[in-house]
Structure 1
Amino acid sequence: MASTALPLACLPFAGSGAGVYRAWRHLDSDALHIVPIQLPGREELYLESAFIDAVRAARWLTPRVLEAVGGQRFALFGHSLGAVLAYEIAQELARTGNTSLQHVYVSGSPGPGHVRENQATGLDDEAFLARVREFAGYRHSALDSPDLRELLLPTLRSDVEMHENYRPSTTEPLRVPVTALRGVDDTLVTAEQVRGWEETTVKTFTHVELPGGHMYLVDGPEALLNAISGS
């Protein structure tokens, strides 16, 4: 990591873990250093209980993010569920008077006040997975394996419940810049919904459209990281 690189703490989207972002580390540059952040209930924290409340999850995550970035100035990034976690971590830092956060990048998510009408929580397994595929725009191949599905489904259900039941902890605007990113072909989150993030900050707001659909960052993070580096 270059001494001038800004640590970018990356929050998982529903059903994923820090491993998604560990795969990005080879893309570290003079501008950015990728810092994957893990949630309980997955990968090396598989035996820990997953959260179903985003505000509580953010309070748990905040000191761990600060430890991971080593006390440096840093930025937050989150996609979909990760976007609301990044936002709530930013609010927690503001409440505690911590000023090390420099920028919040939210991706593939409506503004935090948006409530999804058609929910997956409470559906049986097949209906739940079909609804999640509808929401996410893709289905992970691991869910086609009965054994892997049994392992992954409880955490995915917890993540989806956390996202669907999320309500912002406060309407107090942030005092750091916010950039909202979206795949230009995203059929799940509209550009208008993404612009709802403008209300969350008194600082600069930027709306960026990138090539791809809702899960554009899975196909290749280069365009995303270039947009963040240039902001």
Structure 2
Amino acid sequence: MTTIATGAWIRRFHPAAADAPRLVCVPHAGGSASFYFPHSADLAPAVAVLAVQYPGRQDRRHEPFAGSVAELAEGVVGALAALPDLGDDVSLFGHSMGATVAFEVARRLEHRLGLTPRRLFASGRRAPSRQRDERVHTLSDDGVIAELAALNGSDSRIFADPEMRALLLPAIRNDYRAIETYRCAPDVTISAPVTVLTGAADPKTTSEEADAWRRHTTADVTVHTMTGGHFFLNEHHTAVLDVVVRSLTTRDNPSGR
């Protein structure tokens, strides 16, 4: 895997055309930039994927974790603002916790840099103001692993190795703490249109919770429901990228709201 690190927060895996739209991809809880390597491979060179690397994992494993969704969003925005070639054709894609982080990034890009993303792709996550009383971060290590196994997000056999368990669980627990303590008022909106992608059998997002993203933008919202659970995007990789490409190469009809 060839990786170009653009500062601490951004990874580019494949070259893209200079005028290609930028797609900032934000990982799920416990995830890393490498999760988006296949997406980058399939979208290049037409789309430039900028994959976010959170502190406290992989090549940033010696750095302290970010304590909140807001801190993660601040780090991403600071990194994007420092890019000399960011341009104004920028979209955001986030899965699970990453969708919420991406929403907060969009807010800051609009308010701080005057940059409205072309589109926010919110995958596998309910609307920001839809809260549940979830406390995975307070569970035992075995409890956290059981949660991951239920979501089919990672191969639970990897946690049988004590060294891997010790390496991975702190980042996962920290991310769960960040997203489970996040709060957003119902009237907080962005100006960017939103494409919601959700799994029909996702225990973390009901169809009503997915549709509630409409309350958080003044632009259009399109909802795509696919078969599968929380990590439906793995089994529907091609279909998800088709949605992304169509959205980035054509202006969606605002009547989709």
Report the 3-state secondary structure (helix = DSSP H, G, I; strand = E; otherwise coil) of the residue aligned with 2:136.
coil
Superposition deviation, residue 148 in structure 1: 0.3
Report the 3-state secondary structure (helix = DSSP H, G, I; strand = E; otherwise coil) of the residue aligned with 1:207.
strand
Superposition deviation, residue 176 in structure 1: 1.2
Report the 3-state secondary structure (helix = DSSP H, G, I; strand = E; otherwise coil) of the residue aligned with 2:139.
coil
Per the alignment, residue 51 of structure 1 pairs with 66
Residue 98 of structure 1 aligns to which amino acid in structure 2?
A: G
CA contact (8 A) 2:110 2:116 kept: no
RMSD value, Cα: 2.1
1:165-220 Cα shifts (integer Å, max 9, x gaps): 11127833111111111123323311111111111111111111134321022335
CA contact (8 A) 1:11 1:79 kept: yes
1:65 aligns with 2:80: yes
Structure 1 range deviating more: 76-85 or 216-225: 216-225
**Where in structure 2 are there 5+ consecutive unaligned residues?**
1-15, 248-257
1:113 aligns with 2:129: yes
Cα distance between partner residues in 1 of 2:116 and 2:193: 13
CA contact (8 A) 1:35 1:69 kept: no
Residue 75 of structure 1 aligns to which amino acid in structure 2?
A: S
Give the TM-score normalised by the residue count of structure 2: 0.82
* Identity of matched residues, %: 27
Selected match of 2:119 from 99, 103, 110: 103
The 5 A counterparts of 1:14-25 are 14-25=29-40
Superposition deviation, residue 91 in structure 1: 0.9
1:123 aligns with 2:123: no
Superposition deviation, residue 158 in structure 1: 0.3
Residue 189 of structure 1 aligns to which amino acid in structure 2?
A: T
The 5 A counterparts of 1:1-231 are 1-29=16-44, 31-67=46-82, 70-72=85-87, 73-99=89-115, 101-134=117-150, 136-140=151-155, 141-168=157-184, 171-219=187-235, 221-231=237-247
Report the 3-state secondary structure (helix = DSSP H, G, I; strand = E; otherwise coil) of the residue aligned with 2:138.
coil
**Aligned positions, number:** 230
Structure 1 range deviating more: 92-101 or 195-204: 92-101
CA contact (8 A) 1:9 1:76 kept: yes
Structure 1 range deviating more: 16-25 or 209-218: 209-218
CA contact (8 A) 2:127 2:211 kept: yes
**Where in structure 1 are there 5+ consecutive unaligned residues?**
none
Cα distance between partner residues in 2 of 1:62 and 1:138: 27
Q: Which structure ranks higher in relative contact order (CA pairs < 8 Å, sequence separation ≥ 6)?
A: 1
Residue 45 of structure 1 aligns to which amino acid in structure 2?
A: R
CA contact (8 A) 2:100 2:128 kept: yes
Residue 83 of structure 1 aligns to which amino acid in structure 2?
A: A
Superposition deviation, residue 99 in structure 1: 1.5
